[in-house]
Structure 1
Amino acid sequence: MRLEPLASFHVKLSPILDLGDSHWGRRRIIDIAGGSFEGPRLSGDILPGGADWQVLHADGMASIDTRYTLRTHDGAHLYISTSGVRHGPPEVLARLAAGEVVDPSAYYFRLFCRFETGDERYLWLNRTLAVASGARTADAVRYDAYALT
């Protein structure tokens, strides 16, 4: 098994909608405002719509659950879903929450990515699992995705 670079994603985010505490944790919904992705076999735009249906846990860990739509440079539409976790020292997470620039090596942010499409040019993505390492900024998420080969 190898990791093959798939694409770098820049996902623009809307302000956080905080639903409050539930039995799962603090539920937050963060709408996807747009963005772009670029890689050796995959590039294009992230369409507005979709969201991260995120849960913040008492220990500060965030459970990530996103679903949104990509449009490739050649007009194909792809569905992407990611699931993962983000955690780190409380002082680092507080800086992230305040919108500060934080070195991604100071916290753990990893994703599992799945794709779905009916476009023949990208059917290979339906059979591809990907992992990613992410970074959070005040209004975006950036992550580098790698196909598991």
Structure 2
Amino acid sequence: MLDLQPLFTLAAEVGAPQVIADGPYGTRRFIPVTGGSFEGARLRGRMLPGGADCQLIRPDGVAELDVRATFETDDGVIFLMRGLGMRHGSDAVMQRIAAGEGETVSPHDYYFRESMIFDAPAGKYDWLNRLIAIGTGARRADQVVIETYEVR
């Protein structure tokens, strides 16, 4: 039986996507992480610039998400998050999100889920290395918000 415990809420600030259209598997989008924050009961801090979400938009409209991002805790420890996920919805909803109308599109109108693993240094946060997290997300105009849960 799965037990989900809140881990943190992350709010990633993102830049304009770099798009490679009509490749052999679909359209590729590289979306830079430019900053952000995360906060939970056991850890909090900021997201560092330099990460990215490398998406594949499949012919069926599903966005396969492949994320690498670095986090810095409020006490100065840096760790990596690797995430794999999916986002999809009706054509109309996905077009509104792509057009930058993310603030007005309810996350209940589309599917956005991500699995995450972490790479933290030895010490206070090395417990992150021994868990899998899952999240449910919302895409805003220039931000991604993910409610993240530890799977126990």
Specify the TM-score bucket, using the shorter chain as the normaliser. over 0.9
Q: Which runs of 5+ in 1 are unaligned?
A: none
2:134 to 106, 131, 135: 131
Name the structure 1 match of 2:27.
26
- TM score, norm. by length of structure 1: 0.97
Percentage of matched positions with identical amino acids: 42
The answer to whether the 8 A contact 2:25-2:59 is kept is: no
- TM score, norm. by length of structure 2: 0.95
The answer to whether the 8 A contact 1:76-1:119 is kept is: no
Matches within 5 A, 1:92-111: 92-100=93-101, 101-111=104-114
Q: Following the alignment from structure 2 to structure 1, what is the Cα–Cα distance between the partners of residues 67 and 25?
A: 17
After TM superposition, the structure 1 stretch with the greater mean CA deviation from structure 2, 32-41 or 20-29, is: 20-29
Matches within 5 A, 1:52-67: 52-67=53-68
- Structure 1 segments (4+ residues) deviating >2 Å: none
Q: Following the alignment from structure 2 to structure 1, what is the Cα–Cα distance between the partners of residues 65 and 39?
A: 22
SS for the counterpart of 1:74 is: coil
Give, as a single letter, the amino acid of the residue that structure 1 aligns with 2:62: M
Confirm whether residue 10 of structure 1 aligns to residue 11 of structure 2.
yes
- Please report the RMSD computed on the Cα atoms of aligned residues, expressed in angstroms: 0.8
Q: Which runs of 5+ in 2 are unaligned?
A: none
Per-residue deviation, residues 13-43 of structure 1 (Å, max 9, x unmatched): 0101002221121011011100000001121
Report how many residues are paired.
149
